Amino acid sequence: MKIRTKITYQFTLIVAMILVIFSVALYYLLESYNKKEFNNYLKDRAVTTAQLLIKEKNVDRKLLRIIDRNTLSSLYAAEVLVFDENNKVKYSNIESDTVIYYSPELLEQVRQKKYLESDYKNKEVVGLMYKDQETQEDYLILAQSEDIYSKQKLENIKYAMTIGLISAIILTIVFGFVFSGQSLKPISRINQEVSKITANDLNKKLSTGNSKDEIAQLANNFNQMLSRIEKSFELQKSFVSNASHELRTPLAAIKSEIQVALEKERTSGEYQEILKSLNIDNQRLIQLTNGLLQLAKSDRGDKSIILAPLRIDEVLFEVQDELLHQHLNYHINIDFEEIPEDDAFVTINGNKSLIKTLFNNLIDNACKYSENKLASINIRSNKSNCIVIVTDEGIGISKDDQEKIFEPFYRTKNASNYKGHGIGLSICKRIVEIHKGRIVIKSEENKGSSFSVILPHV
Ligand code: ADP
């Protein structure tokens, strides 16, 4: 069911319920008020008749009966019966052939309660006791009549209320439908605009209008989300094109080397040379694909990565060992002096393979981008973090480049003479984020750089 129809239904239901409750309450209130008023009238009639008959002994009863029948509007005609102490009718204002119902139990109840209001077959009945002050005799008076006037009035009110109720419900449906349509118009507009946005035009934006209401907020949030999606699409596109470019270079080199080799017959020494060169290019390809795989792995999110307590100093020694084996010209100094004595201060909750990759990249860069191939490592800690600083005296990084070097495939101009693909630091950044830490760079061109990795310890 559409929201518009739903709102109209609910709106109508609520209004109809309120109107029905209000009308029913009003009807019953009127009915009880009328009943009370009519009973008061009957009571007055009973008392007047009693006073005329009992007090004014000279009143002609026949005349009284004639007056009773002719002077009162037929709507207010009441049958009045006066009983003596033995329940014998002393006076009645009705014709002798009129049938009138009353029971001895009713008379008994009136005698007990002194005053009684009751109803019998559409008629209101009032019974009361009256004492003649002269003779001290007790009389029982019954007055009864049908409240035709009130019943007609109530019937008319009921009719008017029903017509009013039906009209009000019809009007509520019409207004509810128009009103909900108006309120939902901006949502329908957003709906139409959104349906026109495809993956190719993520730069399109929803109009937010002039208002600052919830709909404008929704459109704003949606626009922000579109911008984020667009940015991440572009990042992905540039990543794929950068990655294919990086992969194509060694592949093209391999292809041309093979072509050159096949041009003519070669000596076995020449073949060996060609194979060595092919091996180097192949090695570059393996390194690059490994890097891309690691980047993809670290991008997969925190959930798939298992973290366990890990001693940072031990990881650093392992990395030092491996790098020195791979690159005989590298020098890596780890500063033992400042290593904290408390194990907890150098223990983090981390993933060993990722943390090794992190320091491997940083230390490798420090050696690679400096003349003396020296990386100095310092471990320290404070109350909450373990800090590892990797320092070199190499080519340095300009202020402008310091932010950009963490983007995939970004390489500084002064690094163009050094081998690399520009993905190591983006992997480092992701790894540090996964471990809820951060990296801070301090660097000056031609003087050197220091990368501080700050990770929360256990
Ligand atoms: P790669 O070293 O393979 O190019 P990285 O992502 O590790 O890729 O580094 C990105 C870029 O940051 C490098 O190309 C280089 O320009 C710069 N860089 C990284 N580390 C250093 C360093 N220690 N000294 C100078 N420049 C560095």
Residue pLDDT, tens place only, 366-407: 999 999 999 999 999 999 999 999 999 999 999 999 999 999
288 with 337, same domain: the answer is no
Ligand 1: centre distance to CA 35 (Å): 99
For residue 377, give every residue at least 6 positions away whose Cβ sits within 8 Å of its Cβ, in sequence order, or none.
316, 320, 332, 333, 334, 335, 363, 388, 389, 390, 391
- Domain final residue pick, 154, 179, 202: 154
pLDDT score, position 62? 74
Mutate to test the pocket of ligand 1, among 377, 411, 423, 451 (most ligand atoms within 8 A of CB): 411
Is the residue at 279 inside a domain?
yes
| Same-domain pairing of 219 and 261 | yes
Distance 443 CA to ligand 1 centre (A): 12
Residues 342, 230 within the same domain: no
Range of the domain at 279: 214-298
Q: Is any atom of ligand 1 closer than 6 Å to the C-beta of 375?
A: no
End-of-domain residue from the set 108, 137, 154: 154
Pocket flag, ligand 1, residue 422 (CB < 6 Å) = yes
Q: Are 355 and 431 in contact (CB under 8 A)?
A: yes
**434 CB less than 6 Å from ligand 1?**
no
Counting from 1 in the atom list of ligand 1, the atom nearest the Cα of 408 is 6
Q: How high does pLDDT run on average in the chain?
A: 88
Residue 173 lies in a domain: no
Output the CA 431–ligand 1 centroid distance in Å. Answer: 16
CB of 412 closer than 6 A to ligand 1?
yes
Residues 319, 232 share a domain: no
If one counts the domains in the chain, the total is 3
| In a domain? residue 169 | no
In the chain, what percentage of residues exceed pLDDT 90?
A: 51
Among protein residues, the one with the nearest Cα to ligand 1's atom 10 is 422
Instruction: Please tell me the predicted confidence (pLDDT) of residue 70.
Output: 65
- Rounded Cα distance, 7 and 178, in Å: 11
Distance 316 CA to ligand 1 centre (A): 20
Report whether pLDDT(302) > 60: no
pLDDT digits (tens, 9 = 90+) for 126-135: 999 988 878 8
**Is the domain of 124 the same as that of 226?**
no
Q: In a mutational test of the pocket of ligand 1, which residue from 323, 365, 416, 449 has the highest number of ligand atoms less than 8 Å from its CB?
A: 365
Give the model confidence (pLDDT) of 89-121 as tens digits. Answer: 888 877 655 566 678 888 999 999 999 998 877
Ligand 1 atom 9: residue of nearest CA: 422
Please work out whether the CB of residue 430 comes within 6 Å of at least one atom of ligand 1.
no
